[in-house]
Structure 1
Amino acid sequence: MKAGEFDVVIAGGGLGGVAAALAALRRGRRVLVAEETDWLGGQLTTQGVPPDEHAWIERFGATRSYRRLRDGIREHYRRWYPLTDAARRAPDLNPGLGRVSRLCHEPRVAADVISGLIAPYLAAGRLTVWYRHRPVAAEVDGDRVRSVVFEGPDGTLRDASAPFVLDATELGDLLPLAGIEHVTGFESSEETGEPSAPREAQPTNMQAVSWVFAVEHRAGEDHTIDKPERYSFWRDYRPGYWPGPLLGLTAPDPRNLEPLTRTFVPHATTGPVVADQSLDPGDRDLWAFRRVLARENFTPGFLDSDVTIVNWPMIDYLEGPVIGVSEEEQKRHLDGARELAMSMMYWLQTEAPRPDGGTGWAGLRLRGDIFGTDDGLAKAPYIRESRRIRARRTVVEQDLSLDVRGEHGAVEYPDSVGVGMYRIDLHPSTGGDNYIDVASCPFQIPLGALLPQRVENVLAAGKNIGTTHITNGCYRLHPVEWNIGEAAGALAAHCVDRGLTPAQVHEDPALLAEFRRELAADGVELAWPVVRGY
């Protein structure tokens, strides 16, 4: 397709972008996805984070298309890997037996499955993907975005236009380019009324980014990496609220902020795996926490080692934000996040305490191939917080906090386009805040949160929807981001078909009801069943 021949242009190919593209494609639309890396999937793939999901995910609380993604990942292992008979028969196969999720798997497997999901549309010529492209400019005419300019890996600029543009970038990069009103960091309690918000707004105070990595352990071998240049700095680094050096096994318990010492012993016997964060956060045993390949799931001798992903509090980068700063400063912070991660790796290899009284696990070996990289790190940093649109509806803490809502449950939105569930889980921030961890109720996704207040043909399709800094903490996880993107892509296609604007659909009860019926028929759950014990 040539530029200008699209119905929907999607900036960003993370989970929201992929779901948006598939939703529009299922409805016969022509779609462009421009992705900054060479993989689609965002936090699930390029950022290397196994899915964070709620306790009922195997039964309800996700869209049909998200379940197809999860089923595809399991089928990939059943078809191609030498599983044990017990693992192959397990309907809830968890390849890594990780404690963070009922489906801990290799990022590259998810990337392969996503490639399979989009393959028919590539073959049909209705989907175009520009890899290694990022938005750098936008042409705006009043309250409409006419086109977006993307820069490729060699500096070449490509222009794309469509009736509807979706921002599914990890940082909400399209928003400032198009002059779309947005917010960053903490809003003030005066603005939002939130119990956990500060008295004054803090726009540069954002959740830490992390650059994750994967390791295996080969006993008797030495895979010690070169000592990072600023290892001494990170070895001595200690935030004021941290119980000890950041490089260590002791960190705050997110739920009560008390010091908690984790264990890290490669291949230790872990006992039955409970992948239910409502009962157990899963982070007490760091080897099993985000393990993506567990030897016991595979025929004897197939794997020399488990493989686990290091995405721990100890690699949260706190020195500054990566939004709202110059490109030079952003690069400095991203380089710092990489160096912190490699310093943690070096510490594990040389100084981490062992049960035998010794120090260091020299046999730890980086597995960059898990991410498709040479340096051992994920392709991209794990981004927890984005720019957020000034939306027609902003979700606030008191809409879904368990302390506030209690037995009444979360606020029910008449414009719900999906559901989600996760604790309000805010990591330490660049402004010096410790964890904010608030129990929440199963919640809905209001359509108004995807719509900018002013701009007519742009939709938020990821972590950039109308949440606050606080509620972003539970709307940022995998199935919710997918649902957000799916609703945005479906709405764009719906509006193309009917010659409507998203605002018209949102404001007219009859049009809104028609769109919600379409979503339900396509397998989007619009409300929760009655659930207890969360």
Structure 2
Amino acid sequence: MVKIKANYVLAALWITLLCSCQKRSPEIPEIRQVDVLIVGGGASGTMAAIQAARMGSSVLVAEETPWLGGMLTAAGVSAIDGNYKLQSGLWEEFRKNLYNHYGGPEGVKTGWVSNVLFEPEVGDSILKYMAGLEDGIELMLNSTLGHIEKTQKGWIADIAYQTDTIRVETQVVIDGTELGDVAALVGIPYEIGMDSRHLSNEKIAPETANDIVQDLTYVAILKDYGKGTDMTITKPEGYDPSPFYCTCAGRCNQDSIGRKLWDCEHMMGYGRLPGDKYMINWPIFGNDFYLNVIEMAPHERKQAYEQAKWYTMCYVYYLQDALGFRHLGIADDVFPTADGLPFIPYHRESRRIDGIVRFDLNDLARPFAQTNALYRTGVAVGDYPVDHHHAAYPQSEALPDLHFYPVPSYALPLGTLIPKSVSNFIVAEKSISVTNLVNGTTRLQPVCLLIGQAAGALAALAVDEGVSPADVPVRKVQQALLDSKAYILPYLDVSPTSSSFSAIQKTGATGILRGEGKNIGWENQTLFYPDSLVSKSALQTGLQDIAAGLVITSKKETLTVNEALKVIYDLMKLRPGDTHFSSREAMDEKAKEIWKNHMDTLMDPEVSITRAMFSVLLGELIDPFSNWPVDHHGTYRSGIN
């Protein structure tokens, strides 16, 4: 364990040193030509870089802090919410690296808010280690974007890096910033705040739109310096303990305030990290703070953040002085900042661009009941409830109660990453094209990591094909993600290690067989039921859009292998010019070979067929996923990908 940790830290140091060399005169900008420029090395930006580089693109990441990971690391929110059982792509790879560092899954189960908690500095080192394994990635840490302009082939951007200005020529730009600043800079339309229910068609949205965003938090990382020590900070100027009186049980009646209160000792274990550290990101009369800085200039934001920092320091003082946690002090070995606080605050909300599609709560909660079948275009998955933090807003009682609104797990559509109005541009992190309500779940760390992976795949394919991201076929992006063991649909009961994983994901993405979404407390699910038998009625429903004229003639509700093969053959015949087999007999012979390879038994045409095996045969015999293209709205279109 110690050796792995040392390797991560050494790798991170080496990458930082490489980024700091080769100074040039500011009068002569150095020109870099790269395939993809990513502005913002946060959760999404880092994963976009790794995915694009693995697919052969050259990538430059410009990040304003010295760390990678954004909210995961530089903002100190190093407790992962959601997707614990959805072991998808680069999110799972990051988690396994954490396991390796801390000695296994139990090593990161140190607090009760999450099953994956880690020290922010370790997260940064791991992300730098992962990025450093890819030859195609160049990191420019402590850098800022200056000028950016559109060209015929892409973009030219000036990056202020140390004492130099680096001019970058690129085909594709990815906005991985915390607040969607690059999208705004290039003129992409966007929205801020809550949507009107009359425009979003979401029943729980407010009557009228407003510009109210979620509370932000300036996190603090405390360290246990040992019983008997006194690490109490100087009382902040203007300190008032009253906002924190109800932060834990014993001082307030939880029935009167409408919130569950925990014992103070138990509350402190909420964000306990490895290494005897504590993440202070407590929403119940804690250090959530209302600020809307999105439209502010950088210097105005910096000034505003001082208010949130002050509030967090007041809360830390309250924990130490009023609650007696004097042995817990600001960690001296995490953030190399003057006050020991993170580099940036934790933003829960950003601009939300006007994308090719807009993902709303109806799409998320009832994906098969909508006019647009956006689930067919999924590129990232999430399973966290819709969770909004508004308690710090001065008139919060007048806002809708959006605390853990129940939804099933979901697939985020590709079109949410692509602006309508600007070409060769991709938006990631929290600025994607979703409604304010949906942002309450897509903002979570694993989803942003997977959004980044999808953005990187889309960018790499756009570069390869010499087109704008909007013109990359949906199925090609999804296939690239499946090749990387990432989910495109959130089927909890089919692991990427399953031999039928890809086939089931693809069948689900066609809609020919559909999963079932459930809300079970905090654990939102979508299940495919791979071992259940194929139902005639379910299959007939799934064929409506792709083959409306195809009628299933089986006598029983569950299909036999023979009846399933008849459906597949009839479906194939509906595609003139795309016939895979000259006869049903020829197809059946191929099916026998597939069955033997997959099941290691001989195929019996008269036995009932499972949903998993139907998916395998469907994919290998006629592959409707690839051969029936869909657009960004999930609508089947003519032609072959």
TM-score bin (small chain): 0.7 to 0.9
- Confirm or deny that 1:221 pairs with 2:229: yes
Say which of 39, 42, 46 aligns to 1:18. 46
Aligned mates of 2:130, 2:252 — CA distance in 1? 40
**Match of residue 264 from structure 1:** 264
Aligned mates of 2:74, 2:130 — CA distance in 1? 17
**Structure 2 counterpart SS, 1:136:** strand
**Cα–Cα, structure 1 residues 418 and 317, in superposed 2: closer, same or farther, change >3 Å?**
closer
The question of whether the paired residues in 1 share the 8 Å contact of 2:89 and 2:481 is answered with: no
Aligned mates of 1:423, 1:226 — CA distance in 2? 39
The question of whether the paired residues in 2 share the 8 Å contact of 1:8 and 1:163 is answered with: yes
CA deviation profile, 1:16-44 (whole Å, cap 9, x unmatched): 00110001100111100000100001111
Deviation of the 1:521 alpha carbon: 1.3
Deviation of the 1:363 alpha carbon: 2.0
**Cα–Cα, structure 1 residues 521 and 94, in superposed 2: closer, same or farther, change >3 Å?**
same
**Cα–Cα, structure 1 residues 385 and 319, in superposed 2: closer, same or farther, change >3 Å?**
closer
TM-score where L is the length of structure 1: 0.79
Say which of 329, 341, 356 aligns to 1:377. 341
Deviation of the 1:255 alpha carbon: 13
Aligned pairs, how many? 460
Q: Give the alignment of 1:121-200 within 5 angstroms.
A: 121=134, 124=135, 126-141=136-151, 146-152=155-161, 156-200=164-208
- Confirm or deny that 1:349 pairs with 2:331: no
Amino acid at match of 2:180: G
Higher Rg: 2
Relative contact order (alpha carbons < 8 A, sep ≥ 6): 1 or 2 greater? 1
**Cα–Cα, structure 1 residues 489 and 221, in superposed 2: closer, same or farther, change >3 Å?**
same
**Structure 2 counterpart SS, 1:170:** coil
**Structure 2 counterpart SS, 1:261:** coil
The question of whether the paired residues in 1 share the 8 Å contact of 2:79 and 2:271 is answered with: no
Say which of 518, 526, 532 aligns to 2:480. 518
Structure 1 unaligned blocks of 5 or more: 79-90, 238-243, 266-284, 295-305, 353-359, 506-510
**Match of residue 268 from structure 1:** none
CA deviation profile, 1:265-288 (whole Å, cap 9, x unmatched): 2xxxxxxxxxxxxxxxxxxx3222
Aligned mates of 1:250, 1:383 — CA distance in 2? 31
**Structure 1 counterpart SS, 2:49:** helix
Aligned mates of 2:255, 2:93 — CA distance in 1? 33
- Confirm or deny that 1:50 pairs with 2:16: no
CA deviation profile, 1:64-92 (whole Å, cap 9, x unmatched): 222111111111123xxxxxxxxxxxx52
**Structure 1 counterpart SS, 2:339:** coil
**Cα–Cα, structure 1 residues 254 and 425, in superposed 2: closer, same or farther, change >3 Å?**
farther
Aligned mates of 2:157, 2:188 — CA distance in 1? 13
Amino acid at match of 2:456: G
- Confirm or deny that 1:366 pairs with 2:374: no
**Structure 1 counterpart SS, 2:437:** coil
**Structure 1 counterpart SS, 2:387:** strand
**Structure 1 counterpart SS, 2:480:** helix
Say which of 308, 320, 326 aligns to 2:278. 308
**Cα–Cα, structure 1 residues 189 and 252, in superposed 2: closer, same or farther, change >3 Å?**
farther
Deviation of the 1:245 alpha carbon: 5.0
Amino acid at match of 2:343: K
Aligned mates of 1:255, 1:441 — CA distance in 2? 29
Say which of 391, 407, 416 aligns to 1:440. 407
**Match of residue 94 from structure 2:** 69
Once the two structures are overlaid, the 10-residue window that deviates more, 285-294 or 368-377, is 368-377
**Match of residue 293 from structure 1:** 274
The question of whether the paired residues in 1 share the 8 Å contact of 2:63 and 2:144 is answered with: yes
**Structure 2 counterpart SS, 1:344:** helix
**Match of residue 38 from structure 1:** 66
Deviation of the 1:50 alpha carbon: 2.5
The question of whether the paired residues in 1 share the 8 Å contact of 2:254 and 2:260 is answered with: no
Amino acid at match of 1:216: K
Q: Give the alignment of 1:410-425 within 5 angstroms.
A: 413-425=375-387
Aligned mates of 2:118, 2:205 — CA distance in 1? 35
Deviation of the 1:141 alpha carbon: 5.0
**Match of residue 5 from structure 1:** 33
**Structure 1 counterpart SS, 2:33:** coil
Aligned mates of 1:222, 1:486 — CA distance in 2? 45
TM-score where L is the length of structure 2: 0.67
**Structure 1 counterpart SS, 2:174:** strand
CA deviation profile, 1:208-255 (whole Å, cap 9, x unmatched): 1111112233221111111112213xx345xxxxxx757776899999
Structure 2 unaligned blocks of 5 or more: 1-21, 23-29, 492-514, 525-641
Aligned mates of 1:463, 1:250 — CA distance in 2? 37
Amino acid at match of 1:21: A
Deviation of the 1:93 alpha carbon: 2.4
Deviation of the 1:498 alpha carbon: 1.2
Deviation of the 1:261 alpha carbon: 2.5
Say which of 331, 342, 352 aligns to 2:302. 331
Aligned mates of 2:410, 2:250 — CA distance in 1? 33
